[in-house]
Amino acid sequence: DGGITQSPKYLFRKEGQNVTLSCEQNLNHDAMYWYRQDPGQGLRLIYYSQIVNDFQKGDIAEGYSVSREKKESFPLTVTSAQKNPTAFYLCATTGQGGETQYFGPGTRLLVL
Amino acid sequence: GNSVTQMEGPVTLSEEAFLTINCTYTATGYPSLFWYVQYPGEGLQLLLKATKADDKGSNKGFEATYRKETTSFHLEKGSVQVSDSAVYFCALSMGNTGGFKTIFGAGTRLFVKA
């Protein structure tokens, strides 16, 4: 099946801990994105990558880091510097043409 | 800057009622416009889109028309079902030197009662 997978579905973070959210795609899409969704709010862009080994900050990059070593993978690390990490995190891709976004099922991050 | 404004929810309707969710946008240039739907606990999925003025996007009984003169892209459905209960996001996409950037509205939650 072609698609985007995110793991885990739920993730718990302790104070001072870094955690990494996985995003994998087999759509052969070049561009990948990370969004944060808070209750009752729209999506806010954290980081995006148009091509392997390159990525740019979005609107709320502070406290997050990413890497793009492979076309298929775009992991997001939530660092201890992110003081309010509880949210629903969505990974997305765009294919050729670049307009329509395809989303993974999301990871819900909770702080213990 | 570019932005999307959509009506606040929640919207609560009875089954078979008519649905309208308003969406207006501000953009420099000529964006493409989208409606995405999010079912509980899931990611977003594309519902419909329109790429130029006067285009009508449609899917699963939902429709929206790209109105440049009123900068609007209102979502409509003639007869909603319980299974339409979800959060609906209006969005615009603009190309730039860094690729395309998508801006989402805040989302409108729809509850449909049997």
Q: Is A106 close to B95, i.e. CB distance below 8 A?
A: no
The minimal CB distance from A42 to the residues B32, B98, B107 is found for B107
Average pLDDT, integer, range A20-49: 93
Q: What is the pLDDT confidence band of residue B98, given thresholds at 50, 70 and 90?
A: low
Choose among B34, B25, B29: nearest CA to B5: B25
Q: Is B89 close to A42, i.e. CB distance below 8 A?
A: yes
Q: Is A99 close to B107, i.e. CB distance below 8 A?
A: no
- How many other C-beta atoms lie within 10 A of the C-beta of residue A43? 27
Nearest CA in chain A to B96: A98
The minimal CB distance from A104 to the residues B43, B95, B98 is found for B43
Identify the burial level of A30 via C-beta atoms within 10 angstroms of its C-beta, where 0-12 means exposed, 13-18 middle and 19 or more buried: middle
Are B12 and B19 in contact, with CB atoms under 8 Å apart? no
Nearest CA in chain B to A57: B98
Per-residue pLDDT at A2 exceeds 70: no
> What pLDDT sits at residue B104?
94
What digits encode the pLDDT tens for the residues A59-98? 999 999 999 999 999 999 999 888 899 999 999 999 877 7
What digits encode the pLDDT tens for the residues B44-92? 999 999 999 999 999 999 999 999 999 999 999 999 999 999 999 999 9
Does residue A28 or residue A39 have the better pLDDT?
A28
> What pLDDT sits at residue A55?
95
Per-residue pLDDT at A1 exceeds 60: no
CB < 8 Å to B95, chain A? 98-99
Per-residue pLDDT at B99 exceeds 90: no
CB < 8 Å to A105, chain B? 41-43
The minimal CB distance from B43 to the residues A56, A98, A105 is found for A105
Identify the three-state secondary structure at position B13.
Answer: strand
Q: Which of A65-69, A95-99, A100-104, B9-13 has the lowest mean pLDDT?
A: A95-99
> What pLDDT sits at residue B100?
75
User: Cα–Cα distances in Å, from A28 out to A73, A76, A96, B43, B94?
Assistant: 11, 19, 10, 19, 22
> What pLDDT sits at residue A16?
85
